[in-house]
Structure formats: structure tokens, C-alpha cells
Structure 1
Amino acid sequence: MVLANNDFFPIIIYQMGKVGSSTIKRSLNHAYVPNKIEYVHFLSWSSIKSIEKNYLKQNKQIPSHILQGKRLRQKIDQSLGHVRFKVISLVRDPVARDISDVFQNIERDIPHVLNLNKQQATEEVLKHILNILNQFDEKIDYACNWFDKEIKDVFEFDIFSNEFDKNQGYQIYSTKYSDILILRLENLSACHKKAFKEFLGIPNFTLLHDNTGKNKWYSEIYDQILKEIDISDYVLDKIYHSRYASHFYTKKECIDFKKKWNQNNCLIQKNAPKLDRPKILFIHPEGNILGNPNFNDIIEILCENNIEVHIFAAKKKTVIQKAPCKESRLFLFNTQEDPSVSDCFTVLAKHSFISESSALDYIKTNVANYDFVIGIDRGIIEAELISRAKRISYGLISYEIFFEEEAGAKFKEAEIRACKNIEFAVVQDNVRAKFLSQENKIPLSKMIYIPVAGRSTIINIFEKKYVIHDALGLDKSKKIVLFIGSIAYWTMADFIIESTRFWPDDWVLVINNRYKNDLSNPYYAKYNQQEKVFFLSHPAEQLSQLENILLSADMGVALYRPIQGSIGCGNNIKNIGMSSGKIGVYLKYGLPVITNDIGEMSSYISKYKLGIVIDTKKPLLINFSSENIIFWKKKCVQFFNDQLDLNKTIRIFFKSLKRAYIDKLKKNEIDSIIVQSEQEFQIGNISKSLQLLLMITDKFPDHPIVLNNLGVIHWKIGERNQGIKYLKKALYKDEQNSIIISNLRKMQINLNS
């Protein structure tokens, strides 16, 4: 005989925290359901005992809701198989649940925020939330494992082995010991009447909301964080590819959640019509587009955000040259043999101009219109000319810093002049920012910090690959130190190779030539037969093609030796710091790093235990246990995801581009008013022309073209001193404007004649 549930046993609202269960309890109470309603988060003995142990350890009283759950579990154990239970549980977007949980426990977990002002408290809570989300691990995550630890343990029913109706937003399961109703919080308002009528026979079930954040003291902070929070794609991918998210939500719903939580990454609306797409030009004279994963991923992210990207680069015979992604376009230009010219120019490289104004005229005629132009290293010189000719903003991405003491004052002169009016300069760390500021006369306030690293991707770093072993015929027990990149004196290839003589027999050095098997390399000729040293040729156009190579290795080596007096390999290498793309690659793939003292990155490697920093005055000795390597691997990936992931570090860059794009739209509006003013001036309507210009000066008092036109008008109406005053101010704002220079010269000549 099965006893009626409403005679003896309660309805159990049994769910994880922060999924809207208090609303269900309040609503059921209001519906005057005769059953006793129990409300619990934990019924499994493992959870109850773990929580009790934790409170006893802290000499704290065990909370009443845990004791209540314990008593209920005892009743269930006594009645299971004799009584059929009615269980109600809910699920919620996992990120929204985690954020809500932080606020629910804010006074317990981060009590110091209670003493902070609103802005400081918002920053602290946001940092705490991001720290929790960035450490997401499906294997131990509370929400992802709640159904297994609780429902499956208590009622012997596996939710994940049974389909959930994602369209209607709820599902009723008739199991061996219970009837279980699972509801999605996001669908609760739409489906509650139908679900509760079907499950409990309640007609016209009414929701009474409870425990809403709007009524809490932290409501303003909560609302602000929802506006500001910006979670990386890497973290969101892990969360929304989890079994929990995939079981209860459709792919489209997961994509929509991801858009919601990293909306600040977007420069413009992704569905914006093509006519509204910003158009950005990169000047990359060095031309090795695919050799820089950071630059590649910047372009890819821009394109994903519906931005049209063009790249002007010098044509190079020694490297593969392709656009980073199919949505971007690469234009290659023949350049002069003179390196002082070829490392600066692309579209202007093969042309000789009698003056700067003739170069500007050429750009106006032969270069398409863009909303922004960015110069890579010495490409800033051409970028600045394009920005002036097209009257658009421009910026710099600095991968190399050229020092005047090595390159000479003449070499630096054009760079310094080109950097005078930049919108921003991208640099990798504080040390490099200081030197770039000194060498190119750029204010530190214009620096944007983006380490040379790509985007996080989901990689199982502990799934050992044996691509290297198979290619070289190595026994799979051999441990590998991997060397990638340039095989040269400045990368200390000789030091690393010679050190292998002191290595234990189970360690080898593998040097991978990424682009081609260059047998002419002197290091290959000298060391090809040396024991424990192997040369591997695994050409790859892009970093992703090296993934299995990187996952076959146990450690990665990246040493740097500055060459005194060298323009590119002197002080630039001495202070390479966070601009080492090689180290960024190793960390992304969980390879512990062996490096020397190279600036900021070295301190991070020591501080965060990402490998070792060695003294190159002594041979490189290898004496690392498997436990060392596993520990370092975890730290490497965590550091990359927290500190280097381009999905995070690109945000300020995005904001600068967005600001420049909005300014460009404003400039277009101003240009329209200027044209209208000029038309009024031509037909003799001076007062109307003047009125239109003064409209602009109310908001933009320093606009050089407006100041120029005001000067011309005042000169024409006889107010000559006022006219010259405006022209001088215009020239101060735009020293190289040939029209302003010519007008001012004419006025001064006429005034003195």
C-alpha cells in the first residue's frame, strides 16, 4: 500500500542555492497546499557531514537549516520505498546563479566591502566574482555537481540520463521513489501555471516573488556589476560547454548567455548593418603577419566584432604571408632594398615625393577611406601620414622598441614626430612602457598594456601527445625541453645546446624550426649529431598548427641575450619582458618556462611558479620531477587565463577604438556643418556662415579647420587682427596644415604691406 503524500509527507523544495526557490515556497504557502512544505539545499549525508564538520572545526553553531535537512533525510531513509515523494527543484543560468550567490554571502565571504564607498565596494565585489568564475572547473563546481551529489544520491535518480524539455522550460520525472519537477528559473513566469497544475493539480497557481536583490542594501552595487562585468570567452566557453548548461539549455540559449556576460568586449553591435561597420587599417611593414599570434588574434577578434580590417604589409620572400582570418584582407607592397625605408612604408615605399604635401596628396587619391589607422612599430610613420591625409585618428602597436643610443637620432626623429598626436600606444608591460615613453616621447597616460599572447582556448594540457617522439623516433619515456623560434646568438641557442651535456639521460632538447627545414643554419651544421639534441622541422602557418608539438613537450625554454649596439637585439631584447611571444605560447599550452632575467616576465615566472629563472653564467641543469612539472603546468594555464588572455587584455584597446569611432562620427557631422558654412560663405551669406562655425566652437573650440575658416571670415569683413588671431590658434593646433600655413602667411604679408 502506498500512503498518500499529503497525509504524512511534505512537498520537498530541494534545490541548489540562488535559483529562485524562496519564490516557489512563498507561492505554495499562499496557495494553501495542505502538505507540509520542506525547504532544503542539502540532503545527502556527504554534504551534511561535511558542513557539520566545517562548523564544528570553527567552533560555530551548526545552522538550523542543516539540522532540519538532517532530520528530513532520516525520515526519507526510513520511508523510501513506502512513500512517494513530491520533489520540486530549479535550475538557473550558471553565471547568474554564481553572481547572485556572491551577493547572498557577501557579509560572510568579503565583509570588508561593508566599510568601503560604493565605487570601491563595486570594484572589490567584481574582482571577487571574476576570481570565482575564472577558477571554474566542471569537476568540482557546485551547480554542475549538485544533482549528482543530492538528487541522485538521495532518490537514486540520474537527471542527466533523462531528457529535459528545453522548449517548455520544465520537466516532470516519474521515478522509482518520487515525482520530480525541474523548472528553469528563466521560464518560470511563463510556465508556472501549467507546470504546477500538472504536477500538484493546483489551478491558477500564482507566483509571489521573494528575496529579490532590488530590496537589498547592495542593490545598486549589484546593478552596476551587471552593467560592468566582462567575462572572457575562455571562461564562458568552459561554463556553457559543461554538462549542466548543455543539459538544461539549448545551444542558442548558451550563446545568448555568453553574449550577455561579455557584451563589453564588443566594439559595436554584432548585427549592425554593413554600412555602419567601422573600417580599420593596419600598417605592418615588417610583414611577418602569421608569426605573431598576438597580432593574429587581435585581427580575428576585431573581425568577429563586425569590424572591417585591412592590412598593408611589405612583401617578404622569406615568410608565408596570408591574412590572419578569412574576414580580413591583406595587401602586399613591393618595398625598396634600403632597410631604413622598407621598415617604415608599404603603400608609399616605391614612390619618391618632392615634399610631404605631395605624399599626402597621393594618399588622398590612392588610399581608401578608413575610420582608424594603426601602425605596427615603424609603421607608425606611414600611419601618421595616412591619418593626416584622411583626417582620421591613429594609434601605435609597439612590439619592438628602438633606442636612440643604438639607432641614432636621425632614425628616431621620424618616429618621434609620428607619435606626437597618437590616440594610444599598445605596449606590453610597465618597463617597456617607460622606455617607449622615453624613446618616442609618448605620455604614459596614452599607454595600453597588452602582453604578447593570444586568446585562451580549451586545451587539455594533461592529455599527453607524442608527435615529437614519433617524428624523431624517441622512446615515449623521454622528457622534452622544447625550443621554438629563432635559432640565433641572441636566443642563446649555443648556451642551451651546450648545457645538454649535463642533462640526465631521460631528458632531451628538441629545436623546432617553425617555418622550414633550414639545413644551412650554422647551429644545425654544428650540433646535428650531438647527443640529446634533436632538430625538428614542423612548418606551421599559424600557432594552432603547432598545438600537438607543444603538448608533446614537458618544458619550454626561452632565453635572451642582448647584443650590444644592435638596433633590434640590444636594449629591446634586454627588456623583452611581456613582449616575448615565445613565453606567451608556452604558458598558453601549459608548458613550464625556463628563462633568464628579462624584465617583468621573469618576476612573474618566479612569483607565480611558472617554471624557473636561471643564471646563465652557469650551465642549464635539468633536475625536475614529474610532480614539479604537473604543479607548474597548472600554474601556467591559470596565469595565462588570468593575466595574458587576449580576450581580457584587449578590452581597453576596444574602448579606445570605440571612442575614436564615435569621434569620427562626430567629425563627419562637423564636416557637414563646415561644408554648409563654406557654401553660405560662397554665396555671400557671411552671417549665416559665421553662425554655423560658432555652433561647432561651442563644443569643439580647438577644431583647426573651424579656426582657420573663422580667421578667413574675420579677415574678409575687415577684422584683420582677429583673423590672424584665429589663424595662429589654428596653426598651434595643427602645425603641419599647409592651408593654414599659407593663409597665415598671406595675411601677415598683406598686413605689413
Structure 2
Amino acid sequence: MNNPTTRAIIAELVAAGCEVIVWCRKNHKVNNGTLGIKYKEDNFVWWATKAILINKLSWRWPTNLVSYIDRFRFKVNDYSMILSVDRLGVIEAAGLNKKLRLEHHHISYEILFKSETSEKFKKLERIALKDVNDVLIQDKLRRKHFSIENSLSEEIIYTVPLAFTKIPPEQRKNIRLRDQLGIPGDKNLLAFIGSVTEWSMINEVIEVMPKLSKQWCLLVNDRFGFDNTNLNDRVGDLGVGDRVYINREPVLDIRDMDYILNGCDYGLAFYKPSRRSKYTGKNLEYIGLASGKISTYLRSNVPVITNANGEIAEHIRRYNAGIVIGHPNEMIEIDNNKSEQNGALSLFSEVLAFENHKEKVLNVLKFERIGIA
């Protein structure tokens, strides 16, 4: 529920007069008052049971039984449309829709490949996707792979980049986390946000810090606020403890990231596909316009340094919104490029921002078919 595109779509539904009910795990709720939505919650045991049956075992008949049980939690005539998210969501939604018979729209943020899972795993997903009217995905390359992997026509797959709405001028923060952490004002600052893990190349970023001039500092903001002992040890071993700042209290709402990024010179977004997980292999290799990190940086007018390829790399070069490199080691060149990167906010505002895609999304969701003016 903290995904920017999902929240923007829900906000539009609410603004149009829809009553939106979000079905999620109890601890995945976000500020209810902000979005004006209601929740139908799964307790951990029931959610875990479904996750194991659907994502681990991929058993079709037990999955059908789960859907049958969940139908009793929904009143048939109370809903006009189903909007599902990713594999677990579309399988649950398709099961419910055998009874509800509603318009079923799907959003894909993750592409799961047969070569990294199994035929049985993909079959359950493909069967569920036959129920959908249309799919939203982030760019043309991801649409192509999603179509192939799920035996789905590209004609019903529409592209909408992963992005929030623009930050209203009155909501831009004047306070800066860098000041509260005591980062000297004359230092240049790199930001590293999101998952602090192997696939995000945090180790490679830390290891390049001694190679950069002492003019550069690094701000690390772990998505979940974990105290990473290995990261702390590595910072100490490399002798850059006075240049690496770790935020121990990350924001819970992605819309507040502007406070963290205000005053940063570059945002780092690196991806190292790993075959250890079905989520971090080819899904990351083709990240493109599905990168939440890049979108978040640009929204706060912070140019990016990234190794992401595809459409997002083309846009970054075209708008002069950052530097596309192959590996963090290449950051030694940033001293010569820093002053040239000034198109971050333009790229976000003109290409990524949800406002640019709002009409397409509303047409896909077919508002007139659910009685919304």
C-alpha cells in the first residue's frame, strides 16, 4: 500500500466518489485518514497460509478452497470493480471473481519468469490472468516480457511508469535531514534509499567511498530502518565512518521522502540481479521505469546515478537528469559532472509524474462503467 502508483490510483478513485476497500495484511496499512479508504485485514496466520499455498506450493485445488472461504468475507453486491496487484493479488482476486463477476483490472510491479520459478508456479498465475480485463505495467520492455511469460496479449497491457503525483509547492520541506544529522553544509551528499541489501549494491557503494574525494558524504536510508551490523562494520573497516551517515528513523510514508532528500546532490540507484530469489533476477534486470528509487529521487529534484537500462536510461540522458554508469566504481567521475545535472525535476514532471498518465488510467479503469461522473 505504500506503492506510489497504487496510492495515486486509489486517491483518484476516492476523489471520484468511490468507496475503496483495501484487502491487505494488518501491518501493511497506511494512514487511513490521508486516503479516505477502508481496510479488510488478513491476520498473519491466514495470510501466511495463503502465501504458502499460492507462492510456495502453487497447489491449484487448495488455492481454490482458499478463494471459496474468502468469498464469505465479501458481500457480493457491495463491489463494482476489483483492482489486483502482482501475483498473489491477481490469484486471490480471480478466485473471488468467480462469484463476484466484476470488472477486474490488474497492476504488475513484479515480473516472475518461468526460467526462475517453474511451470506449475506460472500456470497458477496464467490461469488467474485470464480473468483480467486489462493490465497496467511500467514500460514497453516490461510489457513485452509480462506478455510472453503469462501468455497474455500485449493489446490489453498499458504502460504507466511507477511514480507518485508531483509535490505541491506548499508541501516541499524547508527542513533537511542532512542538517539534523550534522552533515557539513559545504559537503556534497550522495543519497542511498530503499532496500539496503546485496542486490542494491550497497557494499559496492560503501567500498567506493574511500576512492572519492573527501568532499563527498553518503546518506543511507534503509527502507525499514534496520540496524545493519554488517554495514556498520564495513564502514568502520574502510575508515569512512565520518563520511557515511545512516538514518536510524526512516519515514513511514513515501510522500515524506522530500525531507530526507532535500540537500542531496545525487541519488544512487544500483541493481545487481541475483538468482537467489525469483524477485531479484530478471525482474531487476529489466527494472526500467519500475524503479521506485529513481522516481523518488527525481520527484525531489535530485539527479540520479544508476546502472538501470532501457527507457529510464534514455530519459536520464535526454533530460540531463543524472549519470548512467555500469558500476559504482565509475562514480569517481562525478566530481567533473556534478554541476551539469539539472533536469531531474523536469524529467519527473514531464514524463514520470502520475498526472501525465491520469487520463489513460481512468480510461483503463472504465469509470463510466461503475457509475462515476
TM-score after normalising by structure 2: 0.87
* 2:205 aligned partner, one-letter code: I
Partner of 1:621: 332
Partner of 2:144: 434
Partner of 2:291: 580
* 2:134 aligned partner, one-letter code: F
Change in Cα spacing, 1:565 to 1:546, as seen in structure 2 (3 Å) is: closer
Partner of 1:474: 183
Does 2:355 correspond to 1:647? yes
Partner of 1:56: none
C-alpha RMSD of the superposition = 2.9
* 1:484 aligned partner, one-letter code: I
State the secondary structure of the residue aligned to 1:373: strand
Measured in 1, the distance between the counterparts of 2:71 and 2:50 equals 21
State the secondary structure of the residue aligned to 2:204: helix
* 1:486 aligned partner, one-letter code: S
Change in Cα spacing, 1:429 to 1:353, as seen in structure 2 (3 Å) is: closer
State the secondary structure of the residue aligned to 2:218: strand
Query: Which of residues 514, 521, 538 in structure 1 aligns to 2:249?
Result: 538
Measured in 1, the distance between the counterparts of 2:286 and 2:98 equals 33
Change in Cα spacing, 1:631 to 1:355, as seen in structure 2 (3 Å) is: closer
* 1:429 aligned partner, one-letter code: D
Change in Cα spacing, 1:521 to 1:387, as seen in structure 2 (3 Å) is: farther
* 1:366 aligned partner, one-letter code: R
Partner of 2:265: 554
Answer whether contact 2:25 2:41 (CA < 8 A) is retained.
yes
Measured in 1, the distance between the counterparts of 2:142 and 2:17 equals 31
Measured in 2, the distance between the counterparts of 1:602 and 1:460 equals 31
Answer whether contact 2:136 2:157 (CA < 8 A) is retained.
yes
Partner of 2:126: 416
Measured in 2, the distance between the counterparts of 1:496 and 1:570 equals 20
Measured in 1, the distance between the counterparts of 2:29 and 2:348 equals 28
Measured against aligned partners, the alpha-carbon deviations of 1:25-47 in whole angstroms (never above 9, x if no partner) come to xxxxxxxxxxxxxxxxxxxxxxx
Q: Residues 70-219 of structure 1: matches in 2 within 5 Å?
A: none
Measured in 2, the distance between the counterparts of 1:558 and 1:440 equals 28
Partner of 1:366: 73
Answer whether contact 1:312 1:330 (CA < 8 A) is retained.
yes
* 1:404 aligned partner, one-letter code: K
Partner of 1:658: 366
* 1:566 aligned partner, one-letter code: S
Q: Residues 305-320 of structure 1: matches in 2 within 5 Å?
A: 305-316=16-27
Give the greater-gyration-radius structure (CA). Answer: 1
Measured in 1, the distance between the counterparts of 2:116 and 2:47 equals 18
* 1:437 aligned partner, one-letter code: S
Change in Cα spacing, 1:337 to 1:309, as seen in structure 2 (3 Å) is: closer
Q: Residues 220-299 of structure 1: matches in 2 within 5 Å?
A: 289-290=1-2, 292-299=3-10
Answer whether contact 2:196 2:223 (CA < 8 A) is retained.
no
* 2:181 aligned partner, one-letter code: L
* 1:636 aligned partner, one-letter code: A
Answer whether contact 2:68 2:96 (CA < 8 A) is retained.
no
Q: Residues 29-68 of structure 1: matches in 2 within 5 Å?
A: none
Partner of 1:301: 12
Offset at 1:314?
2.3
Answer whether contact 2:104 2:133 (CA < 8 A) is retained.
yes
* 1:491 aligned partner, one-letter code: S
Query: Which of residues 422, 435, 443 in structure 1 aligns to 2:153?
Result: 443
Partner of 1:267: none
Measured in 1, the distance between the counterparts of 2:314 and 2:63 equals 48
* 1:422 aligned partner, one-letter code: V
Change in Cα spacing, 1:527 to 1:643, as seen in structure 2 (3 Å) is: same
Measured in 1, the distance between the counterparts of 2:170 and 2:268 equals 21
Offset at 1:542?
1.0
Query: Which of residues 325, 341, 353 in structure 1 aligns to 2:50?
Result: 341
Measured against aligned partners, the alpha-carbon deviations of 1:566-625 in whole angstroms (never above 9, x if no partner) come to 200000011111000110011111100000143321222122211001121844215336
Measured in 1, the distance between the counterparts of 2:263 and 2:209 equals 19
Answer whether contact 2:316 2:347 (CA < 8 A) is retained.
no
Measured in 1, the distance between the counterparts of 2:63 and 2:219 equals 53
State the secondary structure of the residue aligned to 1:537: coil
Partner of 1:454: 164
Measured in 2, the distance between the counterparts of 1:460 and 1:481 equals 25
Partner of 2:98: 388
State the secondary structure of the residue aligned to 1:477: coil
Partner of 2:57: none
Measured in 2, the distance between the counterparts of 1:483 and 1:502 equals 17
Offset at 1:497?
0.9
Measured in 1, the distance between the counterparts of 2:25 and 2:178 equals 38
Does 2:237 correspond to 1:526? no
Answer whether contact 1:406 1:565 (CA < 8 A) is retained.
no
Change in Cα spacing, 1:583 to 1:343, as seen in structure 2 (3 Å) is: farther
Higher RCO, Cα 8 Å, sep 6+: 2
Offset at 1:509?
1.0
Answer whether contact 1:478 1:506 (CA < 8 A) is retained.
yes
Measured against aligned partners, the alpha-carbon deviations of 1:104-133 in whole angstroms (never above 9, x if no partner) come to xxxxxxxxxxxxxxxxxxxxxxxxxxxxxx
Offset at 1:658?
2.2
Measured in 1, the distance between the counterparts of 2:23 and 2:188 equals 43
Unaligned runs of 5+ in 2: 55-59
Measured against aligned partners, the alpha-carbon deviations of 1:469-507 in whole angstroms (never above 9, x if no partner) come to 322222210110000001111000011111111111211
Partner of 1:694: none
Measured in 1, the distance between the counterparts of 2:127 and 2:281 equals 23
Does 2:205 correspond to 1:499? no
Measured against aligned partners, the alpha-carbon deviations of 1:354-406 in whole angstroms (never above 9, x if no partner) come to 784x6565455431231111111011001111222111121211011111111
Partner of 1:594: 305
Offset at 1:305?
1.7
State the secondary structure of the residue aligned to 1:623: helix
Measured in 1, the distance between the counterparts of 2:359 and 2:215 equals 44
Change in Cα spacing, 1:320 to 1:620, as seen in structure 2 (3 Å) is: farther
Change in Cα spacing, 1:623 to 1:409, as seen in structure 2 (3 Å) is: same
Change in Cα spacing, 1:329 to 1:338, as seen in structure 2 (3 Å) is: closer
Partner of 1:405: 115
Measured in 2, the distance between the counterparts of 1:466 and 1:354 equals 52
Partner of 1:153: none
Partner of 1:610: 321
Count of residue pairs the alignment pairs up: 361
Measured in 2, the distance between the counterparts of 1:638 and 1:396 equals 29
Change in Cα spacing, 1:322 to 1:441, as seen in structure 2 (3 Å) is: farther
Change in Cα spacing, 1:307 to 1:437, as seen in structure 2 (3 Å) is: same
Measured in 1, the distance between the counterparts of 2:51 and 2:223 equals 25
Change in Cα spacing, 1:325 to 1:343, as seen in structure 2 (3 Å) is: farther
Q: Residues 667-706 of structure 1: matches in 2 within 5 Å?
A: none
Offset at 1:547?
1.6
Identity between Structure 1 and Structure 2 (%): 26
Partner of 2:279: 568
Change in Cα spacing, 1:595 to 1:339, as seen in structure 2 (3 Å) is: farther
Offset at 1:515?
3.4
Answer whether contact 1:360 1:389 (CA < 8 A) is retained.
no
Measured in 2, the distance between the counterparts of 1:617 and 1:564 equals 21
TM-score after normalising by structure 1: 0.45
State the secondary structure of the residue aligned to 1:500: helix
